[in-house]
A and B are shown apart, each in its own frame.
Chain A
Amino acid sequence: MDLVIFSITAIIAIIGAVAMLVSRNAVHSALFLLLNLGAISVLFLLLQAPFLFAVQLIVYAGAIIVLFLFVVMLLGAERDEDGADPVRWQVPTAVVMAALLIGQVIYVFVTEPTATADSVNTNISEGFGSPTQIAQALFTTHLYHLKSPHSCCSLP
């Protein structure tokens, strides 16, 4: 059952992301991004993380996309400008970067079998992902990383 829901949600997320990139209208793009973020919040639910689900909805769907829409609507900037793209190198660069990222993800997925959904769902402890646990992790174990964001990339 989880696999079915996951597949549907993942397909919706991918469709949203692709449609956001290809649509020529900024408001449509923002709405497709909203679809994508909503689908990702459902994925958080599938991973037993209701807190992240709610926070994803509040922060991204509730605030950030509204701001996007607000600015686009206020400036009337929803139409693509005529003429050639002034920054010609950005599309090829983005494609290369995305390919690199996908390669990384696939590598991690293949070499780290613990990252699959099944292992996550069977190995969770009582109260996993509850606000209490997240707060404890954030404000005790990882307090140092929380306080100094530049250090979060250092290896443990």
Chain B
Amino acid sequence: MEFWIDILILLVRCLVLALAATTLFAYFTLFERRLLGRFQNRIGPNRAGHIPLPGGKKLFGGFLQPAADAVKLFFKEDVIPEKADKWVYLIAPGFAVIPALIIWVGIPLGNWPDGQGSNWLHYAPIDVGILYLLAVTSVGVYGIAIAGWASNNKYSMIGGVRASAQVISYELALGLSILAVVMQNGTFRTEEIVAGQNIIWNIVPQFLAFVIFLVASTAEVVRSPFDLVEAEQELVGGYNTEYGSMKFALFFMSEYIKLVAMNAIAVALFLGGGNFPGIDTLVAAIRTSNGDTIAYAVQGALTLGAFLLKTTVLSFISVWVRASVPRVRYDQLMNLGWKILMPLALFNVVLTAVIGVIFPEGGLVIHIAMFVIGAVVIGITSVVAAPKRAKRSVTMVSNNASN
């Protein structure tokens, strides 16, 4: 009996997580469109739904826009191209969405102890949590690759091939940057990495890894400026050209959920996860006055809030980058991945290892020294490895020659 109750609780929790991720996606699209509007000096969607305030003011204009989009996508015609490979064509969107959803179980979203040693906000505290995250991200490329192939369309196909090449290339830099964090904290468990950042967030000693992670994760989720997979000007729509209606919506959804998940991973690994100054003191004060249960609940809510706040900041940066940086060329993409990010990540692993051996105690000074080294290395790299333009020279031709 107890077994079935456990299964039921698990199912409910999974449902809650899936719904939360989907809602997050819906509102991330609105967040992005409004921000892009601001960046491009226009307003953005503000018509669908508002909360009326006294005095004719409107609050949260456009907050129903995601619902309107969803309704529109549901009622579009659902086409399967005649020459498509039907089964592969149909499973491709699922292949894209499932990794994007299951990656969330490995991320500690906060710390809400249930009193028996586990945490409500961390679904799967497994031994090899980091490896799980890497495995699921790398499986995520299948959706795009097989969608491009199954559509039987040259543009889609090019998109799929580009996606697989790009994701394989950037996986290395991504994995190596995470490896340095694992070495820094000495564990593969994500919750222990978060707990280890109680005093100093990993972004200080692992600043280089953080920058590499941000760039590589943007490329890994094939988002602008690395969105060659769906470059409209060259490929119509890339891998999703032949997809319409909800099947397109699933691709759209997987892309955004993966983006937010990557930002959440960056928060957990580098920005201290649910840690925030003052939470511990507050929770300790509540524990003495109100008892354990309420203290746990408050701790859960606060850490989750801190986590979401940091994720929102990173998501804002993603939108900012999208609005500011033009798309890279394919050769630039490969150069950046193989010739710059991967050597940098390797250097960072070596640096972390050497410093970890020489100064096993760590300490604030060492952390700050590593931060400075990382920042200097990034500065030097961005100067040395910046794409060089061929020098243009103008030859003056004498006008008298023709006379």
Report which A residues bind B (CB closer than 8 A): 25, 27-28, 31, 34, 50-51, 53-55, 57-58, 61-63, 65-67, 69-70, 73-74, 78, 129-131
CA distance A67 to B164 in the complex (A): 8
CA distance A120 to B138 in the complex (A): 30
Judge whether B165 and A57 touch: CB under 8 Å: no
Residues of B close to A66: CB separation below 8 A: 138, 141-142, 145, 164, 167-168
A139 to chain B, nearest CB (A): 14
Residues of A close to B85: CB separation below 8 A: 25, 27
Within 8 A of A (CB), among B135-163: 135-136, 138-139, 141-142, 145-146, 148-149, 157, 160-161
Judge whether B127 and A73 touch: CB under 8 Å: no
Judge whether B168 and A70 touch: CB under 8 Å: yes
CA distance A28 to B128 in the complex (A): 31
CA distance A31 to B131 in the complex (A): 22
CA distance A63 to B175 in the complex (A): 13
Within 8 A of A (CB), among B314-354: none
Contact A63 to B171, CB < 8 A, known contacts A27-B88, A58-B138, A69-B146: yes
Residues of B close to A78: CB separation below 8 A: 149
A55 and chain B: residue at smallest CB distance: B131
Q: Does B132 sit within 8 A of A, measured CB to CB?
A: yes
A133 to chain B, nearest CB (A): 10
Is chain B's binding surface mostly helix, strand, loop or mixed? helix
Q: Does B126 sit within 8 A of A, measured CB to CB?
A: yes
Question: Lowest 3 CB-CB distances: which A-B pairs, in order?
Answer: A62-B138, A54-B131, A57-B135
Residues of B close to A54: CB separation below 8 A: 128, 131-132, 134-135
CA distance A121 to B96 in the complex (A): 34
Contact A28 to B135, CB < 8 A, known contacts A66-B167, A69-B164, A73-B149: no
B262 to chain A, nearest CB (A): 16
Q: Does B188 sit within 8 A of A, measured CB to CB?
A: yes
CA distance A69 to B157 in the complex (A): 11
Given contact pairs A54-B135, A69-B142, A70-B168, enumerate 19 new A-B contacts (beta carbons under 8 Å).
A25-B85, A27-B88, A27-B149, A54-B128, A54-B132, A55-B131, A62-B135, A62-B139, A63-B168, A63-B171, A66-B142, A66-B167, A66-B168, A67-B164, A70-B165, A73-B161, A129-B127, A130-B127, A131-B188
CA distance A51 to B135 in the complex (A): 11
A52 and chain B: residue at smallest CB distance: B128
B-side interface size class: 20 to 34
B188 and chain A: residue at smallest CB distance: A131
CA distance A131 to B127 in the complex (A): 8
Judge whether B141 and A27 touch: CB under 8 Å: no
Judge whether A50 and B149 touch: CB under 8 Å: no
A151 to chain B, nearest CB (A): 28
Contact partner, B149, options A67, A69, A129, Cβ 8 Å = A69
Judge whether B134 and A58 touch: CB under 8 Å: yes
Judge whether A69 and B135 touch: CB under 8 Å: no
A65 to chain B, nearest CB (A): 8
Within 8 A of A (CB), among B97-149: 126-128, 131-132, 134-136, 138-139, 141-142, 145-146, 148-149
CA distance A58 to B126 in the complex (A): 16
Residues of A close to B164: CB separation below 8 A: 66-67, 69-70, 73
Contact A131 to B128, CB < 8 A, known contacts A69-B149, A70-B145, A73-B157: yes
CA distance A65 to B142 in the complex (A): 9
28 interchain pairs (CB within 8 A)?
A27-B146, A28-B88, A31-B146, A34-B142, A50-B128, A51-B128, A54-B128, A54-B131, A54-B132, A54-B135, A57-B139, A58-B135, A61-B139, A62-B171, A63-B138, A63-B168, A66-B138, A66-B142, A66-B164, A69-B149, A69-B164, A73-B149, A73-B161, A74-B161, A78-B149, A131-B127, A131-B128, A131-B188
A134 to chain B, nearest CB (A): 10
Contact with A along B179-192 (1 / 0, CB 8 A): 00000000010000
CA distance A34 to B95 in the complex (A): 12
Residues of A close to B131: CB separation below 8 A: 51, 54-55, 58
Residues of B close to A25: CB separation below 8 A: 85
